[in-house]
Structure 1
Amino acid sequence: MIPLAKPYLTKEEAQAAYDTILTGWITQGPKVQEFEEKFASYTGASYAVAVSNCTTALHLAMIVAGVSTGDEVICPSMSYIATANAIKYVGAVPVFAEVLPETYNLDPVDVQRKITQKTKAILIVHQIGLPADIDAFAALCQKNNLILIEDAACAIGSAYKGKKIGSHSDLVCFSFHPRKVISTGDGGMITTSRKDFYKRLKLLRQHGMSISDRVRHEAKSLVFEDHVEVGYNYRMTDIQAAVGIKQLDKLDWIVSERRKIAMAYNNAFSEIPFLQLPFENDGYFSNYQSYCVYLKRSSPLSRNDLMQLLLDSGIASRRGVMNAHRETAYAKDAEGLSLPISEDLQDNTIILPLFIPMGKDEINYVIDTLIGALKSNVASEAI
């Protein structure tokens, strides 16, 4: 079976975890600080705050942005459900907007239509690694006195107009889940260039404790901490951070290799009239966290039938990105909501295998199997 994805972890990461375990400092400590500093430097942000996962990153971002009960936050429904959940965590209301059919990212025009007096923030998602139009949303936020938050769970290593994702706005949230481009097993990061946000994020991730464990441990005189506000246990461990440091060192190479696979897919599928391929305009640089194709209505096979044929051939695939408003948890809130583009994309897209290292034989097998499945269901001259 060719898997959909798998993390690229080597003996270097295993050794880093091993060495960290032997130091005796395995929770949030010096390796976390090192990882944060290197991550901030890589993205071009002033600060980075490591947390337990991207969902907790989004939750803390909502808090420091001042989003609270009764506020509205505009976001895509077409995203993993954690995007909308983080808004709910602070008592606010997710307002689902439509996406663009070419990029799967939020449509600035529809977002503008949905701004009301209750709107507090816009939460954009860089879907499957392709940056959203950050400038357009930054302009909307400036015009309407809103906060811009970026869900960059899939976008580590991606770039927008020559700058790495993580450097464009004040709250950018990343994921290190195993399906992401680099992984720490699980984990997250928030980048910001606002010192006040940085200080509060560090406070909130560790129970609102005024003095960290490390500061207390290294103190030469008695130090007693205070818990200055209700916080959370959203810490990253030093074991994870040690792995993350090694992963970050390889990130640009990993992205380069992923793009080579994506280009091989693009070249092979470009003449197939039934497929809409990933879109990447000038100034937008994708890490290809996922490779997603859209089956046009002219396709001789339905999305599900094609996925089953791939599975029968030993190739894993996944349906396109979910729509939160179609999930049971949001059915009542989203009653009567229609997002035809988002729904169509969910129903007619397939995510194909893409991972490092993926051998040429595996890449060619995926290509040949998919094209063969389509050819066998239509007259050859139609291809």
Structure 2
Amino acid sequence: MIPVMRPWLGEEEAEAAAGVVRSGWVAQGPRVAEFEDRFADRVGVRNGVAVSSCTTALHLSLHLLGVGPGDEVVVPSFSFIATANCVVHAGATPVFADVEAEDGNISERTVEPVLTPRTTAVIVVHQAGVPADVGPLRELCRDRGIALVEDAACAVGATLHGRPVGSDALLAAWSFHPRKLLTTGEGGMLTTTDPALAERARRLREHGMDVSAAARHLSRQPVLESYGEVGFNYRMTDIQAAIGLVQLGRLDAMVQRRRELAAGYHELLADVPGVRAVHDPVHGTTNYQSFWVELAADFPLSRNELLGTLAEAGVSARAGIMASHRQPAYAGHPHGDLGTTERLTDRTLILPLFHELTEAEQGTVVDTVRRAAGLRAAS
């Protein structure tokens, strides 16, 4: 099967991980600190705090903002369920907003109708690496005294108005899951423009300890730590960070290759009736973390039927982004009109896209879609 995604990993990552193992320091330590600095510099922000996942970075962000019981947090339903879950973990209530049809992202237009006096935060997701137009949304939140958190899980390497996504975010959360461009196996990062928030986040990720475990073990004198507040165990390991440092060096090549492959999809699918492919928005560039297409109502096959046809041809595609409000876990949660979310969820699918995808493999994907639409193969 042609996989929908395959991480770009090699001997450099293996050697980096082995080097950490040989050093004897495998927990959070110097490699994590280096990875934090390098990653923050790459996305153009002052402070990076490495954590165990993007979900924990989102939860930590809400905790830093004081979000809790009685509060509402607006999130897109058109997102992986973790975006809503972190709100529940904080003790607050997720309120689902619709998204724009073009890019699958929330906007000030879709968020404003679901704001209430109980809204304390909004989480904007740069869905599948397509940058959301954060500026107008940030102004809306600022005028209402509402915090804005950026879920940039998929967005490393994407740009907004010529700058890296998240570069001016008060709080942004990133994922290093294998489905993302840059992977550490599992893991995440919290970035912030506020050094005080970063310092508190570093304490909170390590049980609220006022001295890091690394600093304590490296000290030549006894260190008696204290715990000023209840924290969490959200640490990253040096093994993960060592892999992340190698991956960070590959990032520009990853983005370039994915954009080349996406351009190939756009060209080869351009004349297929009833197929709309994701593309760059006017306000930025996507890293094409996922290449998704939307099928029109009159396409000869349903989305699920096309997934089956692709599977029969040896292509492992995926259903598009989920609608979280449809999941049993969120039955009855408040939301606005979600017509666009439901349409995109029902009619979109994700086609294979990864660094080492060959021309022949891409041709197999495209020809299968073209035949399903009643056209000749492109090759």
Would the TM-score normalized by the shorter structure come out above 0.5? yes
Change (3 A) 1:257 1:277: same
Q: Where does 1:225-240 land on structure 2 (aligned, <5 Å)? A: 225-240=225-240
Q: Give the structure 2 partner of residue 2 of structure 1.
A: 2
Q: Give the structure 2 partner of residue 133 of structure 1.
A: 133
Give the Cα–Cα distance (whole angstroms) in 2 for the partners of residues 15 and 271 of structure 1: 46
Give the AA of the match of 1:172: A
Give the AA of the match of 2:276: Q
Q: Are the aligned partners of 2:114 and 2:336 in contact in 1 as well (CA < 8 Å)?
A: no
Give the Cα–Cα distance (whole angstroms) in 2 for the partners of residues 250 and 279 of structure 1: 23
Q: Where does 1:173-322 land on structure 2 (aligned, <5 Å)? A: 173-322=173-322
Q: Say if 2:358 is the partner of 1:359.
A: yes
Change (3 A) 1:112 1:338: closer
Give the Cα–Cα distance (whole angstroms) in 1 for the partners of residues 11 and 300 of structure 2: 45
Give the Cα–Cα distance (whole angstroms) in 1 for the partners of residues 166 and 25 of structure 2: 29
Give the Cα–Cα distance (whole angstroms) in 1 for the partners of residues 283 and 337 of structure 2: 31
Q: For residue 245 of structure 1, give the secondary structure of its aligned residue in structure 2.
A: helix
1:283 is displaced (CA, Å) by 2.9
Q: Give the structure 2 partner of residue 373 of structure 1.
A: 372
Give the Cα–Cα distance (whole angstroms) in 2 for the partners of residues 232 and 367 of structure 1: 46
Give the AA of the match of 2:147: I
Q: Say if 2:342 is the partner of 1:343.
A: yes
Give the AA of the match of 1:200: R
Q: For residue 263 of structure 1, give the secondary structure of its aligned residue in structure 2.
A: helix
Q: Give the structure 1 partner of residue 79 of structure 2.
A: 79
Residue by residue, what CA displacement relative to the aligned partner does 1:297-345 show, whole Å, maximum 9, x if unpaired?
A: 12111111111000011000111100110001001325x8641110010
Q: Are the aligned partners of 1:171 and 1:192 in contact in 2 as well (CA < 8 Å)?
A: yes
1:117 is displaced (CA, Å) by 1.0
Change (3 A) 1:135 1:337: closer
1:221 is displaced (CA, Å) by 1.8
Q: Are the aligned partners of 2:113 and 2:336 in contact in 1 as well (CA < 8 Å)?
A: no
Give the Cα–Cα distance (whole angstroms) in 2 for the partners of residues 84 and 340 of structure 1: 19
Residue by residue, what CA displacement relative to the aligned partner does 1:139-159 show, whole Å, maximum 9, x if unpaired?
A: 111111111100000101111
Q: Are the aligned partners of 1:97 and 1:107 in contact in 2 as well (CA < 8 Å)?
A: no
Could you tell me the percent identity over the aligned residues? 44
1:75 is displaced (CA, Å) by 1.0
Give the Cα–Cα distance (whole angstroms) in 2 for the partners of residues 327 and 244 of structure 1: 33
TM-score normalised per structure 2: 0.97
Give the AA of the match of 2:352: P
Residue by residue, what CA displacement relative to the aligned partner does 1:165-211 show, whole Å, maximum 9, x if unpaired?
A: 12121100000000001100000001101011101110110000111
Q: Give the structure 1 partner of residue 37 of structure 2.
A: 37
Give the AA of the match of 1:232: F
Q: For residue 96 of structure 2, give the secondary structure of its aligned residue in structure 1.
A: strand
Residue by residue, what CA displacement relative to the aligned partner does 1:262-312 show, whole Å, maximum 9, x if unpaired?
A: 110001111112111113223311000000000001211111111100001
Residue by residue, what CA displacement relative to the aligned partner does 1:334-369 show, whole Å, maximum 9, x if unpaired?
A: 5x8641110010000010000111111111111111
Give the Cα–Cα distance (whole angstroms) in 1 for the partners of residues 363 and 113 of structure 2: 45
Q: When the two structures are aligned, how many residues end up with a matched partner? A: 376
Q: For residue 223 of structure 1, give the secondary structure of its aligned residue in structure 2.
A: coil
1:115 is displaced (CA, Å) by 1.5
Q: Give the structure 2 partner of residue 149 of structure 1.
A: 149
Give the AA of the match of 1:267: E
Q: Are the aligned partners of 1:74 and 1:95 in contact in 2 as well (CA < 8 Å)?
A: yes
Q: Are the aligned partners of 1:2 and 1:314 in contact in 2 as well (CA < 8 Å)?
A: yes
Q: Are the aligned partners of 1:120 and 1:147 in contact in 2 as well (CA < 8 Å)?
A: yes
Give the Cα–Cα distance (whole angstroms) in 1 for the partners of residues 312 and 12 of structure 2: 36
Q: Where does 1:85-104 land on structure 2 (aligned, <5 Å)? A: 85-104=85-104
1:113 is displaced (CA, Å) by 1.6
Give the Cα–Cα distance (whole angstroms) in 2 for the partners of residues 301 and 223 of structure 1: 66
- Mind listing any 5+ residue stretches in structure 1 that lack a counterpart? none
Q: Are the aligned partners of 2:133 and 2:283 in contact in 1 as well (CA < 8 Å)?
A: no
RMSD: 1.2
Q: Are the aligned partners of 2:177 and 2:183 in contact in 1 as well (CA < 8 Å)?
A: yes
Q: Give the structure 1 partner of residue 58 of structure 2.
A: 58
Further displaced range: 215-224 or 120-129: 215-224
1:214 is displaced (CA, Å) by 1.3
Q: Give the structure 2 partner of residue 20 of structure 1.
A: 20
Give the Cα–Cα distance (whole angstroms) in 1 for the partners of residues 360 and 53 of structure 2: 34
Q: Are the aligned partners of 2:122 and 2:147 in contact in 1 as well (CA < 8 Å)?
A: yes
Give the Cα–Cα distance (whole angstroms) in 2 for the partners of residues 37 and 107 of structure 1: 31
Give the AA of the match of 2:217: H
Q: For residue 292 of structure 2, give the secondary structure of its aligned residue in structure 1.
A: strand
Give the Cα–Cα distance (whole angstroms) in 2 for the partners of residues 346 and 166 of structure 1: 26
1:372 is displaced (CA, Å) by 1.4
Give the AA of the match of 1:58: L
State the 4+ residue runs in structure 1 displaced beyond 2 angstroms.
none
Give the Cα–Cα distance (whole angstroms) in 1 for the partners of residues 66 and 160 of structure 2: 26
Give the Cα–Cα distance (whole angstroms) in 1 for the partners of residues 336 and 106 of structure 2: 16
